[in-house]
Amino acid sequence: MVDFRKFYKENANVAYTVLGYPNLQTSEAFLQRLDQSPIDILELGVAYSDPIADGEIIADAAKIALDQG
C-alpha cells in the first residue's frame, strides 16, 4: 500500500464515481473531464448486484448502472 501522505502532505483532491452511472456514455464523458481536472486520486466503483457495504447513494448508482447493462 502506498503512503499517500508522502505525496499529498495535507490535502488531496479525491473523486469517486460508479462506472456506468447513469449510463456508459455519460460515465465516459465524465471520466474524460476528470482527466482535465485537478483531481489527484480517482476511485472507480464497479457496480455489483449486492452492494451491502456501500451507502444508499452508491448502492442506488450501482443499481442504475447495472440496469443499463
Q: Is 40 annotated in the active site?
A: no
DSSP labels, 22-65: S-HHHHHHHHHHHHTS--SEEEEEPP-S--TTS-HHHHHHHHHH
Q: ∠ CA(7), CA(14), CA(19), 5° rounding?
A: 130
Among candidate residues 35, 43, 50, 56, the one labeled active-site is 43
Among candidate residues 54, 56, 60, 67, the one labeled active-site is 54
Q: Is 54 annotated in the active site?
A: yes
Query: Which residues does the annotation mark as catalytic?
Result: 43, 54
